[in-house]
Amino acid sequence: MSDITIITTTAIDTGIVAGARRELVNAAKGTGAVIQGYADALCLSFNVRELANGASLKMWYELRGKDAKGIKAERALFVADMTEAGFGKGTIDVYWQRVKEASGYVTAGNRVKGASDTDGKTAAELKTIINRILKAEESGEDCHASMILETLKDAFIVLTGESFDANK
């Protein structure tokens, strides 16, 4: 008989793996709240507000030139703290983008004309994908995505209730 120990699901569910998993999940769940808190603090500190009612006239991420001096200094401190914590430029940029989005910034990739709900945005993106595949097929390009074209069209029908028309 060998000295191999078989880990059962009971051991996984009650052991150090389960504890570490719970810690990770709890930390991941908290990231959004922490990002939102930082975004709220930036909005309160740097948004340009109307004196009479306090309404935001310009968001901090829209500031340019001398108006952006404070937010540029805060960004430099953010980068320095993240770098000191061991994060690389790519990760730092992703977190800064998440803070901007939590403040209300809408990226160009999230601006889908005429669609504000998840199904509408998904339908618009499916239409783009389908048209890209059709264009590739028309030009004679080797396109492996052609194998899923009918499935994509079916998904479009489910979301919109209408059949796909490449000319629309």
Model pLDDT for residues 96-113, shown as the tens digit of each residue: 999 999 999 887 665 545
**Range ranked top by mean pLDDT from 9-13, 53-57, 129-133:** 129-133
- If pLDDT is split at 50, 70 and 90, which confidence band does 116 have? low
Question: What's residue 113's pLDDT?
Answer: 54
More confident residue, 15 or 95: 95
More confident residue, 114 or 85: 85
- If pLDDT is split at 50, 70 and 90, which confidence band does 84 have? very high
pLDDT in tens, 124-163: 888 888 888 888 888 888 888 888 888 888 887 877 777 7
The 3-class secondary structure across the chain, one letter per residue, is CCCCCCCCHHHHHHCHHHHHHHHHHHHHHHHHHHHHHHHHHHHHHHCEECCCCCCEEECHHHCCHHHHHHHHHHHHHHHHHHHHCCCCHHHHHHHHHHHHHHCCCCCHHHCCCCCCCHHHHHHHHHHHHHHHHHHHHHCCCCCHHHHHHHHHHHHHHHHHCCCCCCCC
Evaluate whether 105 touches 114 at the Cβ level (below 8 Å).
Answer: no
Q: Mean pLDDT score of the chain, rounded to an integer?
A: 82
Beta bridge partners of 49: 56
pTM exceeds cut of 0.85 = no
Question: What's residue 110's pLDDT?
Answer: 53
Evaluate whether 156 touches 125 at the Cβ level (below 8 Å).
Answer: no
Torsions phi, psi for 101 (to 5 deg): -65, -35
Check pLDDT > 70 for residue 9: no
